[in-house]
Amino acid sequence: MKKKLIIGIAVLMLIGVNLYAQEPSHWRGPEASGVYPDKELLDFWPEEGPEMIWHIDSMGKGFSSPVFANNKIYLTGVHEETGYIFIMDKNGNLLKKYSYGGEFTESYPGARSSVTLHGDLMYMMSGLGRLVCMEEANGEIKWENDLLSDFDGRNIRWGMTETVLIDGDVLYCTPGGEKNNVMAFNRHSGDQIWSTAGKSEKSAYCTPLLVDLSARKLLVTMTENHILGMDAKTGKLLWTYPQTNEWSVHANTPVYHDGALFCFSGYGQGGVNLKLSDDGSKVTKQWFDNTMDSRMGGAVIFDGHLYGSGDKSRIWFCADWATGNTTYTSKEIAKGVVILADDKLYCYSQRGELAMVKADPKEFKILGKTKVELGTEQHWAHPVINRGVLYVRHGEVLMAYNIQE
- 21 pLDDT higher than 80: no
Contacts of 189 (CB under 8 A, 6+ apart): 143
Q: How many CA atoms lie within 13 A of 163 on its CB side?
A: 28
Query: Mind listing the pLDDT tens digit for each residue in 216-243?
Result: 999 999 999 999 999 999 999 999 999 9
Domain 38-57+292-405 has CATH 3.30.530.20: no
Quote the pLDDT of residue 251: 98
Tell me the pLDDT band of 319, cut-offs 50, 70 and 90.
Answer: very high
Tens digits of residue pLDDT in 76-93:
999 999 999 999 999 999
Q: Please report the DSSP string for 145-158 in residue order.
A: EETTTTS-----TT
Q: Identify the pLDDT of residue 372.
A: 98
Question: H or E stretch including 398?
Answer: strand 397-402
pLDDT at 10: 41
User: What is the share, in percent, of the chain residues with pLDDT greater than 70?
Assistant: 95
Which range (6-15, 68-77, 225-234, 310-319) has the least confidence? Answer: 6-15
- pLDDT number for residue 135: 98
Residue 4, classified by CB atoms within 10 Å of its CB into exposed (0-12), middle (13-18) or buried (19+), is exposed
Radius of gyration of the chain (CA): 20
Q: Of the given ranges (19-23, 104-108, 249-253), which has the lowest mean pLDDT?
A: 19-23
The reported pLDDT for the residue numbered 50 is 98
Q: Could you give the CA distance from residue 196 to residue 174 in angstroms, rounded to a whole number?
A: 10
- Bridge pairing between strands 316-320 and 305-309: antiparallel
> Can you tell me the mean pLDDT for 114-127?
98
Q: Which one, of 70, 77, 66, lies nearest residue 36 by Cα?
A: 66
Q: List beta partners, residue 73.
A: 68, 88
- Of 62, 53, 123, 5, give the one whose Cα is nearest residue 376: 62
Q: Does the pLDDT value for residue 397 go beyond 50?
A: yes
Helix count and strand count (H, E) for the chain: 1, 33
Does the structure show a pLDDT above 50 at 16?
no
Q: What is the mean pLDDT of residues 100-123?
A: 97
Q: How confident is the model at residue 169 (pLDDT cuts 50, 70, 90)?
A: very high
Q: What band does 4 get if pLDDT is binned at 50, 70 and 90?
A: very low
Closest to 21 (Cα-Cα) out of 102, 145, 155, 117 = 117
Sheet architecture: strand order including 217-222: 209-212, 217-222, 226-231, 237-242
- pLDDT band of residue 7 (cuts 50, 70, 90) is very low
**pLDDT for the residue 198:** 98
pLDDT at residue 8 in the model: 43
pLDDT band at 6 (very low <50, low <70, confident <90, very high): very low
Would you list the DSSP string of 16-66?
HHHHHHTSPP-TTTTTTSSEE---SB-SS--TT-SEEEEEE----BB----
Average pLDDT over residues 87-108: 97
| Mean local confidence (pLDDT), 278-288 | 98
Strand, helix or coil at 290? coil
- Whether residue 117 is predicted with pLDDT greater than 90 in this model: the reply is yes
Reported as a pLDDT band with limits 50, 70 and 90, residue 399 is very high
pLDDT of residue 13: 41
pLDDT band at 361; cut points 50, 70, 90: very high
What is the model's pLDDT at position 59? 97
Contact (CB, 8 A) for 300 and 33: yes
Res. 19: pLDDT tops 70: no
What's the average model confidence in pLDDT over 4-25? 50
- Asked if residue 110 has pLDDT above 80, the reply is yes
What pLDDT, on the 0 to 100 scale, is given for residue 187? 98
